[in-house]
Chain A
Amino acid sequence: MIAEALERASHPVEQATAHAAASAGSHGTEIPELANWISLINHRLADSAFVAWLHHWEDLAFSLLVGLMLCAISWLYARKPSMVPRGPQNLLELLVESIDQSVQGILGKAGRRYTPFIGTLFLYILLMNLSVLIPGMKSATSRLNTTLGLALVVFCHVQWIGIKSRGFLKYLDHLAGSPRDAVGWTLIPLMFPIHLLGEIVKPMSLSLRLGFNVFAEDVLLAVLVGLGLSAGLLLHLPVGLPLQTFVVPLVLIFSTVQALVFSLLSTIYIALLLPHEAHH
């Protein structure tokens, strides 16, 4: 009976009617995933080329939705802030000041110029992580395409900061392990690739950590939603049991922690490439 119910719950049609059901067949894999509005449209209109295209780019679509939401909030409440804050401006100022203080705590007073980059990274990742909790939405960060895209930006930005703050020759000197004696110069062919690889691996490790953590959260939610639906079917209930509610607090915590880890480690990478006197 249970196996039959699980099988029924994992069927795409059941997902479409439940609007938040666990999906196992949408990507042709064994790993269950929550349905979203694009995947539901794709199930309904599988023959449409536009829907297929939209489904292919759904991660970008969901990240753009989050980005548009951030832009709208900025436009409405932060574009012309008043000297006496009212309403949402209070919350935004609290957020901005907290992020600014965190960045300045790591990079010193000169770190103020990197606050927008780190802050945007944090808010963007946080909202993408949390968007899975909204029915029909999907965490774009549960795909490595998204996290690697962010890692690419972080890598380029950090290297650019290194070149700008140190100068190109000193930047190369840093990558070569700052050779000052014969042994150092001899080891350049070894040290240079290692340092370069290290610089590439740093943001890549961030993206893998973030992507797999969020993916695991989404899978956990999907499994619990599937179990809830199965239990509902077994008990002949009109709706599934909301078993995923118990892990929502965990999702909230992990999403915040992952966004913090990504943004704070990016800040530390910037600090490592800045000249020492710049952040002391």
Chain B
Amino acid sequence: MPPILQLDVQQIISQAISFLILLWVLKRFAWRPLLSMLDQRRERIDQDLAQAAAKKEELTRLEEDYRKRLAAIDQEARLKIQEAVQEGKQVAMEIQGQARVAAQNILAKAQETVEMELSKAKVTLRDQVVEMTLEALERMLRKKLDAQTDRLLIEASLEELEQQQSTKTS
């Protein structure tokens, strides 16, 4: 009989038992750990992918938000610059107007002062002329001299008066 056909019930049952023992060992130490690990990894990858998608969506939303904010800030800055420029121009015009008014006031005051000084000088001059004339007349009368002498006295008084005038103006 060929060896393959030499059946032995004990060997058949032994082979069955050895397979069952192997099945128990592999189930305990290979199949369960590996299958549960594969499931865990699959779940983790699913979770990570979902998280990545959510984060990407959030990132896109934030990017859009920031872009809008930047655009608003840019617009606001442009408006503020324009306002500042306008305000600056207005302030400059006001300052110019004030300066012009102040200058006119100063000029008017200076003219007024000059005129006052001039009128004062005129009054002083007239008083001095009067005084000198009176002094010359007094001298003339005191000496009672001739017309030639009177003339000389008056001229001498006038020269004296001119000298005084020139010293005052200098």
Contact = CB atoms under 8 A, between A and B. Distances in A.
Interface residues of A, number: 48
Interface of B is mostly: helix
A148 B16 CA distance: 8
Contacts, number: 126
A57 interface: yes
B44 interface: yes
Contact of A74 (B8, B13, B21, B26): B26
Interface in A111-161: 112, 115-117, 119-121, 123-124, 140, 142-146, 148-150, 152-153
B11 A150 contact: no
A10 B16 CA distance: 34
Which of B34, B37, B38, B40 is packed against the most chain A CB atoms within 10 Å? B34
Contact of B29 (A60, A71, A100): A71
Contacts of A142: 4
A83 interface: yes
A70 B20 CA distance: 13
Interface in A59-80: 59-60, 63-64, 67, 70-71, 73-75, 78-80
A150 B1 CA distance: 22
Contacts of A31: 2-3
B92 interface: no
Interface in A14-54: 27, 29, 31, 33
B25 to A, nearest CB: 5
A226 to B, nearest CB: 16
Contact of A60 (B18, B20, B22, B31): B18
15 contacts: A29-B1, A31-B3, A74-B25, A78-B33, A79-B33, A83-B41, A96-B30, A96-B35, A97-B38, A100-B35, A120-B27, A143-B4, A144-B5, A145-B8, A149-B19
